[in-house]
Structures are given as C-alpha cells and as structure tokens.
Amino acid sequence: MNIGQAAKASGVSAKMIRYYEETGLVMPAERSDKGYRIYSDKDVHTLRFIRRARDLGFTVEGIAELLALWRDRGRHSADVKQMAMGHVAALRRKIIELEEMAATLQTLADCCAGDDRPDCPILMDLAAGADGPAKMPHRFGPLAETKV
Amino acid sequence: MNIGQAAKASGVSAKMIRYYEETGLVMPAERSDKGYRIYSDKDVHTLRFIRRARDLGFTVEGIAELLALWRDRGRHSADVKQMAMGHVAALRRKIIELEEMAATLQTLADCCAGDDRPDCPILMDLAAGADGPAKMPHRFGPLAETKV
DNA sequence: ATAAAGGTTCCCATGATGGGAAGGTCAAGC
DNA sequence: GCTTGACCTTCCCATCATGGGAACCTTTAT
C-alpha cells in the first residue's frame, strides 16, 4: 500500500504520516525499490490508533506513551488509566478557562445595547485598568495561553 | 518610560510589545536618541487593552479590530457586540469539542480497572477501527485541531 | 572605573498542520 | 511505444503567540 492509500485508510494525511515518521512516532516505513513508502494493514492499524488518540486531544508526545503502553503486553491498565485521567483533567481545566472567558464576554455583551451608538461596555471594560470587572485569567499550570 | 517599565505596568512582556510593534498591532514607539523605546501612559493604556483582550481569548487579529473600534468615535456598539458574540460562539464550540473528548475519555476510564492487569478498554477503544465506540470529532468550522 | 541591569537586533524553537515547487514513477489509454 | 495524469519523493516555507539566547550597547549605581 502506498502512502496515499494508507492515508485514506487511516484518516491520517500523507503529510502527517511522513511527519510522524520523521519525528519517530512511528517506525520508518519500508520502501519499494524506487523509494516509495509501503504500508501494511498493521501499519494502518497503528495510524488509526494515532488518529483516534489525536481526536481525543492527546498530543503527539502523549500518543507516543499510549503507543508504548499499547505494545507492552505487560502493561498495567492503571498506567493507561492514569494517562487518560490526567488528560481529562487537563481538558477540564481548559474548559473552565474557556467558560470563564465566554461568561465574561457574554455578560459584557448583555450590557451592550448593540445599536448605532458608540457607547459600549465591552470596550469600556477592555479599556479599564486591570483592576476592572473582567476576570483575570486563572493560571492552571503549563496549559498557557488559550488558542481558540 | 522604557519598555521594561511599560511591560511591568501593562502586563505585556517586553518581547511581546516588540512583537506587537513589528506586526503593526501598535504604532512604533518613539525612540530616545540612543534608540531606546519610550512609552507614555497612553501607550501603556493601549497595551493593557491588548492584554485584557488576549486574556479574553481574542487573537491578535481580533484585537486589531477591537482597537480600531475603540479608537473610532463613530463606531456602532452593534459592531463591537457582534465581534464579542462571534468570539463567544467560537469559545462555546471549542468548549463543546473539549467536553466531548473529556466525556469519551472519562467513560472509557470508568470502564478501566486501573490495576496491574494489562486489559484496558481505553487501549481497546483506541485500537478499534474508526467505526468503534469513541466519537469522531465534530467539525466546527475553522477552529481546527484542539490544543490542550 | 567598573559592574549590574536593562536596552537593541537577530536568529531559533515551539506543535501540528498545510502549501507548494522540483523532479521521479506508475498506470491507463491511444 | 508514448503521452498524460495521478501519485510519489524531498525540501523549504508559513502558521500563531510566545519565549530563549547571543552579541552588543547604554544607563545607573557603587
């Protein structure tokens, strides 16, 4: 199977498959005599695992750990569970952060007439000193600035 | 005021102040005869506005629009409100996306014994075909892959 | 005078992803 | 056999907001 077919079968783009190979997340694929990458069903299976983990929001680094556990027949399910719960906790922190932003903005917007006059509590809040009504961001460890 | 003092007073790092200048979000600061950037209280006020908008999750591009509205005395508050509500909508979409991830993972983790045995429904789910139980990601426009 | 602190520019890295160019390969149809 | 289009390869660049650090200059305090 060529990379394009593996991409289609796994839901991971050809670009990303090459990237995962380059960064060591997956083993380098075999090559045809002309240098084309060749994928087996097993490879596609692994790629689908990766795709799935990405869909659940794991970073590539986290996926590497998950893959290692997956391959380790002697793994303890506790280790997997701990990883999963750690990720859930990170997701929840991020959710709370976003909810606070949304709530603040919604409150401000609710106070805004939204007509053709220039007066706007949203701008007034932004322009207010840091001591104003909008909430300061809560720091939750290494999750850093929100990208929405 | 030097850049370090402006940074402290505004909550925006010196690095970011230079970056905002370079990318045109703020006007280039005045310079001393030796080339040091000089900031006024007004500049700091603008920087604090920016900081605040970042804390609410606006992108730099969005902040540029907000700043333009802020400076436009003839603005219509409806325009500001629309921007704010658009951002709230984006935040809510992201929140839902993260909540779905967290719920899926939590469900899987709940089914995981979390002991020293290797059997793990989390890994089984990840290894399952794309037709398995874990939810496929819901596409919500241009918000793209979640970074948590 | 000297040292510390802070300024300047420039380059690099992040994380996951896509775009695109230049060039080789394969398969199908004529 | 030859052309064409689809596909592969590598390599470089861009994203977005942020930080790190080097090399070098200035200001301030001792």
DSSP string for residues in A44-97: HHHHHHHHHHHHTT--HHHHHHHHHHHH-TT--HHHHHHHHHHHHHHHHHHHHH
Q: Is the CB of A61 under 7 A from strand C?
A: yes
When CB atoms are compared, the residue of B102, B136, B137 closest to A91 is: B102
Reduce the DSSP state of residue B73 to 3 states and report it. coil
**Smallest Cα–Cα separation from B86: which of B138, B143, B48?**
B143
Residues B30, B90: one domain? no
Domain span holding position A46: 3-71
The span from the CA of A95 to the CA of B105, in Å, is: 15
Question: What local confidence, expressed as pLDDT, does residue B67 receive?
Answer: 96
Q: How far is A136 from chain B (nearest CA, A)?
A: 7
The mean pLDDT value for B114-143 works out to 67
Residue B87 lies in a domain: yes
Question: What local confidence, expressed as pLDDT, does residue B148 receive?
Answer: 53
The span from the CA of B17 to the CA of B29, in Å, is: 10
Residue bearing tokens 């399910």: A77
Q: Cβ contact (<8 Å) for A81 and B123?
A: no
Q: Is the CB of A145 under 7 A from strand C?
A: no
Could you identify the residue whose CA is nearest to the C1' atom of nucleotide D19?
Answer: B15
Residues A18, A59: one domain? yes
Residues B83, B122: one domain? yes
Question: What local confidence, expressed as pLDDT, does residue A148 receive?
Answer: 53
Residues B63, B119: one domain? no
Q: Cβ contact (<8 Å) for B57 and A101?
A: yes
The span from the CA of B117 to the CA of A79, in Å, is: 10
Question: What local confidence, expressed as pLDDT, does residue A80 receive?
Answer: 96
Question: What local confidence, expressed as pLDDT, does residue B129 receive?
Answer: 59
Residues B83, B116: one domain? yes
Tens of pLDDT, residues B58-115: 999 999 999 999 999 999 999 999 999 999 999 999 999 999 999 999 999 999 999 9
Q: Cβ contact (<8 Å) for B56 and A105?
A: yes
Q: List all residues 6 or more positions away from A148 whose beta carbon is below 8 Å from its beta carbon.
A: A98, B57, B87, B90, B91, B94, B143
Total number of domains in chain A = 2
Q: Is the CB of A4 under 7 A from strand D?
A: yes
B147 CA vs D22 C1’ separation (Å): 31
A137 CA vs D24 C1’ separation (Å): 37
Final residue of a structural domain among B44, B71, B98: B71
Tens of pLDDT, residues B14-68: 999 999 999 999 999 999 999 999 999 999 999 999 999 999 999 999 999 999 9
Residues B83, B119: one domain? yes
Residue type, B142: P
Residue A99 lies in a domain: yes
Final residue of a structural domain among A44, A71, A98: A71
- In CATH, what number is assigned to the domain containing residue A55? 1.10.1660.10
Residues B66, B81: one domain? no
Residue A80 lies in a domain: no
What pLDDT tens digit does each residue of chain A (148 aa) get? 999 999 999 999 999 999 999 999 999 999 999 999 999 999 999 999 999 999 999 999 999 999 999 999 999 999 999 999 999 999 999 999 999 999 999 999 999 999 999 999 999 999 985 444 444 443 333 333 334 5
CA-based nearest residue in chain A for residue B146: A57
Residues B60, B42: one domain? yes
Residues A106, A137: one domain? yes
**ipTM given for this complex:** 0.84
Show residues of chain B in contact with A66, CB under 8 Å: 123, 126
Residues B55, B82: one domain? no
Residues B37, B87: one domain? no
